[in-house]
């Protein structure tokens, strides 16, 4: 999900500069990864451009040459995170049980990418504060994710449209569990198996939505 345009109607925010040389493009990517680590460790408000610039071996003006503003640097970091997820998903979004299995696979992969998990946990919580530059991004992301999970549950269970209330509540529950597991895992990784817990919750939700078919339906990760 993309951020809504900032500014007046018909105007689009300026994006990052597009470097021409391979060296400059690599420098821009280096800044992005350093910013990702810094935002994940300190949050947006406590992370400074001075620290990011120092770690990148640049001045603050040098960082702003590539990204124009700290807010644009943040949205560029989030877009980088999304590109990583899209590459893992492949060209076509899976449907029904396959999408629910993808959620379990995502939880398994997240256990191997602590930096991205921390970035998401810190910034998603921080985005509820007033005027946070990532608030629209996370609002749109949750809206889209709720729709994807609800569609997958409806497809997996063969539910009609008039079951939308139950399905939407179930989708909210699955997403809440996955986000909560990430926080618990960051604090105590040896005590939390995100993939196993996600699979258990998804299977339980499927059973709750269609109790009569629970015994014959394979688990999402099967």
Say if residue 189 is in the same domain as residue 103: yes
Say if residue 211 is in the same domain as residue 121: yes
**DSSP 8-state assignment for residue 57:** T
Q: What pLDDT, on the 0 to 100 scale, is given for residue 116?
A: 87
Instruction: Specify which of 6-15, 73-82, 84-93 reaches the highest per-range mean pLDDT.
Output: 73-82
For the segment 178-191, the average pLDDT, to the nearest whole number, is: 97
Domain contains 5 = no
- How many domains would you assign to the chain? 2
Domain contains 86 = no
Domain contains 6 = no
Give the list of residues 6+ apart from residue 69 with CB closer than 8 angstroms, or none: none
Domain contains 169 = yes
Q: Could you list the residue range(s) of the whole structural domain that residue 138 is in?
A: 93-222
Residue at token pair 């629970």: 214
Say if residue 117 is in the same domain as residue 50: no
> What number of CA atoms fall less than 13 Å from residue 51's CA on the CB side?
14
Say if residue 121 is in the same domain as residue 220: yes
Neighbours of 182 (CB within 10 A): 21
* Averaged confidence pLDDT in the chain: 85
Q: How far apart are CA 70 and CA 52, in angstroms?
A: 10
pLDDT, one tens digit per residue, over 90-124 is: 667 788 999 999 999 999 999 998 988 999 999 99
Residue 46's CATH number: 1.10.10.60
Confidence of residue 222 (pLDDT cuts 50, 70, 90): low
pTM (two decimals): 0.77
């Amino acid at each position: 999900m993309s951020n809504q345009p900032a500014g007046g109607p018909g105007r689009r925010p300026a994006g990052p500069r597009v470097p021409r040389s391979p060296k400059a493009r690599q420098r821009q990517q280096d800044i992005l990864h350093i910013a990702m680590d810094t935002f994940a460790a300190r949050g947006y408000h406590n992370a400074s451009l001075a620290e990011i610039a120092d770690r990148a071996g640049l001045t603050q003006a040098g960082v702003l040459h590539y990204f124009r503003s700290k807010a644009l640097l943040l949205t560029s970091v989030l877009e980088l995170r999304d590109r990583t997820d899209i590459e893992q998903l492949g060209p076509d979004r899976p449907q029904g049980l396959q999408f629910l299995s993808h959620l379990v696979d995502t939880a398994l992969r997240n256990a191997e990418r602590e930096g991205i998990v921390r970035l998401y946990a810190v910034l998603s919580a921080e985005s509820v504060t007033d005027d946070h530059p990532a608030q629209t991004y996370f609002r749109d992301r949750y809206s889209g994710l709720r729709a994807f999970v609800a569609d997958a549950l409806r497809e997996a269970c063969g539910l009609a449209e008039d079951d939308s209330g139950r399905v939407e509540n179930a989708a909210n529950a699955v997403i809440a569990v996955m986000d909560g597991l990430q926080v618990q895992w960051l604090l105590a990784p040896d005590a939390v198996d995100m993939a196993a817990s996600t699979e258990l919750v998804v299977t339980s939700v499927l059973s709750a939505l269609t109790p009569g078919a629970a015994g014959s339906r394979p688990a999402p990760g099967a």
